[in-house]
Structure 1
């Protein structure tokens, strides 16, 4: 019950922060980044005890769906709050915060796997880099959605509303590719550390995650190379970013959802 109460409070705070930023994008209220960050931090303070509690007596080498969702959504909010201090990405909170809150609420109702003491320093490096990679690239996906809306509005000569609320198009694109570069670097570290510290990245229980993670790495790498050499940008960059993030989402959650929710296996 305590977990559900914390999750509900975190969800409410996330929704409040996202709602205010949504009103900013609609040009109904003035920007208040401190308010949005403050509400987000309060939500994260309710969220973190649930994430930390999962690792209170040792962490599983392969966390279940509920553990993955709670920890990754907390990391996603944390990374967004930190990056927003240096880059204009706070608008991504409109999508990121509600999704994190909803994921937290749903995950608190799922069973957690038995905990085991199997988290060595090498595996911890792999897990942390994987979490940061997913969080960074998920924020890039939210940035890509906003960039796509901005591109579409400008193409139809709609220069009011969201276009006026967002940073200039060139700034939005630059930030998007900075996020992708950072995400790919972290994903590379995650994949390399996995090959170094896990017994077999292509074992039956890891093969799907390895293959899909490598596929996502290839998608993002092709996008970065083509942006640098061929000038890819605009809607093509948006589509490739969203496609790569979708593949990464399947890598992290796809089989866990099928096994634990659809088939009911722990």
Structure 2
């Protein structure tokens, strides 16, 4: 089967899920969680099928710029759908379903980069999996911080929209943000540790800048979590630190892949 069909199916289901959720929030009516979850899971299954067909190669795992973006988006949506079973984070999906829609179509229709297939040891593959999971968890934290920023702004100006009225209390939203940050920081720590253990030559593999930027992002998140624990950081300060760490992390991964695959062609 050609990956075009599951890609289009995933995009349509993501669009349907986002439209359903957005319409219900606009009408200030209750969202049927089963319908939302069903649409999200079906979209994710088609998304995963498309990714499998595009990334599988006889010589290894093909992971170019758009494959990586689509894979991380799928991981983020999967983690959020799993989290929805236990904690009230359904509102994150209103931002994540369009992300899935966009990345699955870009992966299908944009020209491929010059990335070579990955045929590495289990240790390297574990490092890649940890990295993707860490990026996914920290991406959820960033979206959570943006929703928290919107909620705080509207509550201060006393004109909450229908979307905000469906949010949990501000304190709960903030606690969820730091829960995601702790999980993402822990996974990022394991990712950096596995990279140090299993990657032999950073210079030969053009990974120095990626590793340094990822380490700087790790430091930013560590300072933020320390500030929360020791100094009670919250609100706008916590959001600014979250966005700063995330920008460093995305620059480390996507910035390096963009330059290598589309500018330097290596």
- How high is the TM-score relative to the length of structure 2? 0.91
Which segment drifts farther, 153-162 or 250-259?
A: 153-162
Which segment drifts farther, 100-109 or 148-157?
A: 100-109
Counterparts of 1:126 and 1:264 in 2: how far apart (Å)?
A: 25
Q: How does 1:74-89 map to 2 (within 5 A)?
A: 74-89=74-89
**Partner secondary structure for residue 3 of structure 2:** helix
Deviation at 1:116, TM superposition (A): 4.7
Q: How does 1:1-266 map to 2 (within 5 A)?
A: 2-53=2-53, 54-55=55-56, 57-60=58-61, 63-108=63-108, 109-111=110-112, 113-118=115-120, 120-159=121-160, 161-201=162-202, 203=204, 205-261=206-262, 263=263, 265=265
Deviation at 1:238, TM superposition (A): 1.5
Deviation at 1:19, TM superposition (A): 2.3
- How high is the TM-score relative to the length of structure 1? 0.91
Measured against aligned partners, the alpha-carbon deviations of 1:185-213 in whole angstroms (never above 9, x if no partner) come to 00000000000001134556111211111
Which structure 1 segments of 5+ residues have no match? none
**Partner secondary structure for residue 56 of structure 2:** coil
Counterparts of 1:35 and 1:212 in 2: how far apart (Å)?
A: 40
Counterparts of 2:26 and 2:170 in 1: how far apart (Å)?
A: 17
Which structure 2 segments of 5+ residues have no match? none
Measured against aligned partners, the alpha-carbon deviations of 1:155-191 in whole angstroms (never above 9, x if no partner) come to 1122453332100011100011000000000000000
RMSD: 2.1
**Partner secondary structure for residue 221 of structure 1:** helix
Q: How many corresponding residue pairs?
A: 263
